[in-house]
Chain A
Amino acid sequence: MTACLIIALASSAFAQQQNTIDQTQLIQSLMMRIDQLEKRVAELETPKPQNAAAPANPAAATAEAMQMITQNSGAESHPALNMAGFSDFTFGASDQSGSKSSFSEGQFILHFSSNLSPKVSFMGELSLTARTDAGTGSPPAPGFNPEIERSIIRYEHNDYFKVSFGRYHTPINYWNTTFHHGQWLQTTVSRPEMVQFGGKFIPVHFVGALVEGAAAARGLNLNYNFGVGNGRGNVISRAGDAGDDNNAKAWLVNAFVRPDRLYGLQIGGSSYRDKINSGGHAYNEWITAAHIVLSKETPEILAEFANARHTQLDIASPAANSQAFYVQAGYRLPMLERTLKPYYRFEYIHVPKSDTLLQPISNLAGSVAGMRYDITNFAAFKFEFRNQRRGPGQPHINSGFIQTSFAF
């Protein structure tokens, strides 16, 4: 731009060579420009005044800075409450008989975090979910169902040892503890069915206490979680929020490594045990799971497997094993400022009829393919196609979805 200006100025000046007055003015103008640039150089080379620069984009600071800081002193006040939110809207259509194409409002999520002291913090997650039975019944059902999804108070002694109490997303599954309820956080429109909210395959929520930490472990970066809690409630898709229905506590162990040498790689495994009372029967539950994840987006690879073993205690019967896994791959394309990310996922669930606790979960073999387009740093469009079959001999069901999801 400046070069063009110079050329234009120079050309203009040469065209008027005979006019010495104009030349003098031009020279003065150029000398002034030189002075301005010299001042600019000097300005760049010397420290700026304290409040010289304002944020170029005030909104940009919002998400990065879920923070409260007094600029001059650096002092952080307590409690320091910060709030963020997520939501989404989806249009979906399917060739399944009886289904209707429709828009749907996703969960409206509010997320609160607050530092109560330098070592104690609280975080909460509240969801409002649209009800399909809104306005029916007496009194009429409300349009949205509120739920406290997570509520965690944590004491952090150091990186090796943190202890917390509350309602968690059970840390025996990578997806369940990484993406939570904000659809914007995940690449795809939908969660894998094995960790679907309201699903039964694994206990999505966990009420109790958790000890966690991380150690360098010679560059392996070993992370661990150990938890004790109520386990599943009588309705096994729900955690025992109001209390346990037996004296046998659920416990879990989760460990994973993030090697320094392979930036973005995470490999881990977990185990979860509980005694469940449901439908008038008692069961032992033992879930083992493993995951391998490459979180860099060139490519992004997520793969998880879980085996749920259930033994009915009041009837002599062999243990039943149900399995589920998914493999998802995505790639952040280099063009268009890296806003496009195509992805594909295959998922599979097999629940034998002998696993009476998990019945009636449908088996599943399905593919999901789509494209995520980040229209801003905080909002995305996702276009997704699904092909699913619930079991041998069952028809393939094709569905299409367009979703916009965002953080605010």
Chain B
Amino acid sequence: MNGTRKLLIAVVLLHVLMMLILAAPATDIAVVVNKEVPVDNLTFAELRKILLGDRQFWTSNVRVTLLIRAPMAHERDVVLRDILEMSEAQFRQYWIGKVFRAESSTAPKTVYTNEMAGSLLNNIPGSMTFIESTQVPKGVKVLRIDGLLPGEKGYPLH
């Protein structure tokens, strides 16, 4: 009987743990740039233009370098779904076309972890990436979007 009770407790604990994992609240996605980028705030439209390659310079001397997580990452899903309103296939086709039209000399660079993104962010002037706000590394700058930082009411990326 004692064993059955332990078994039931274990099953309940397992369920609770699973629910905690699956029902974890969505974290805001921070727009993070190299600390030397001379911009503190972007409008949502400006953010979209950067992701579309329609804006390629921060200033004349600083080119935007986009670092985007590989497919399956939550950060990439948010970028494609909430900002670009594109599927994965549409995004790939868009950027192949963009480079093929000679409208951009490089496509966004793929990063496989947030740590890799953070490391490149510190090393590439003008670089920009998207990272869960709880995992933003030190030494980088988090941009405001339409005046809002991650965690603030009305922040658009989560």
Contacts and interface: CB of A to CB of B under 8 A. Distances in A.
Interface of A: 2-3, 6, 10, 13-14, 17, 20, 23-24, 26-27, 30-31, 33-34, 37-38, 40-41, 44, 47-57, 60-61, 63-67, 69, 71-75, 80, 84, 111, 113, 115, 118-119, 121, 123, 125, 150, 152, 154, 156-159, 177-180, 182, 185, 214, 219, 221, 258, 260, 263, 296-297, 332, 337-339, 374, 377-378, 407
B109 A50 contact: no
B54 A65 contact: no
Contact of B135 (A47, A115, A159, A260): A47
A57 B88 CA distance: 13
Contacts of B102: 113, 121, 123, 150, 152, 154
A152 B105 CA distance: 11
A53 B100 contact: no
Nearest to B106: A67
Contacts of A65: 107-110
A260 B54 CA distance: 12
Contact of B93 (A31, A34, A118, A377): A377
Given A71-B116, A74-B123, A263-B48, A180 B100 contact: yes
Nearest to A29: B10
Nearest to B121: A74
A182 B100 CA distance: 9
Nearest to A5: B14
A387 to B, nearest CB: 28
A271 to B, nearest CB: 21
Contacts of A31: 10
Nearest to A48: B113
A142 B41 CA distance: 58
B25 interface: no
A27 B116 contact: no
Contacts of A260: 43, 45, 48
Contact of A41 (B20, B107, B116): B20
Interface in B92-118: 92-93, 95-97, 99-102, 105-110, 112-116
Interface of B: 3-4, 6-7, 10-11, 13-15, 17-18, 20-21, 43, 45, 48-49, 54-57, 59-60, 63, 68, 70-72, 85, 87-93, 95-97, 99-102, 105-110, 112-116, 119-120, 123-124, 127, 135
A298 to B, nearest CB: 9
A23 B3 contact: yes
A30 B70 CA distance: 34
A269 to B, nearest CB: 19
Given A38-B17, A61-B70, A30 B11 contact: yes
Contacts, number: 175
Contacts of B45: 219, 260
A37 B21 CA distance: 9
Contact of A30 (B10, B85, B119): B10
A338 to B, nearest CB: 5
Contacts of B72: 56
Given A50-B119, A178-B97, A33 B14 contact: yes
A49 B115 CA distance: 7
A216 to B, nearest CB: 8
A377 B18 CA distance: 34
Given A34-B10, A50-B113, A113-B105, 13 more contacts: A3-B18, A13-B7, A27-B7, A41-B21, A47-B115, A48-B114, A54-B112, A55-B70, A55-B112, A60-B70, A66-B96, A113-B99, A178-B97
Given A10-B11, A71-B116, A214-B54, A66 B123 contact: no
A52 B113 CA distance: 8
B29 to A, nearest CB: 16
A115 B95 CA distance: 17
Contacts of A159: 55-57
Contacts of B95: 63-64
Given A219-B45, A296-B85, A297-B90, A64 B107 contact: yes
A3 B21 CA distance: 13
Contacts of A118: 63
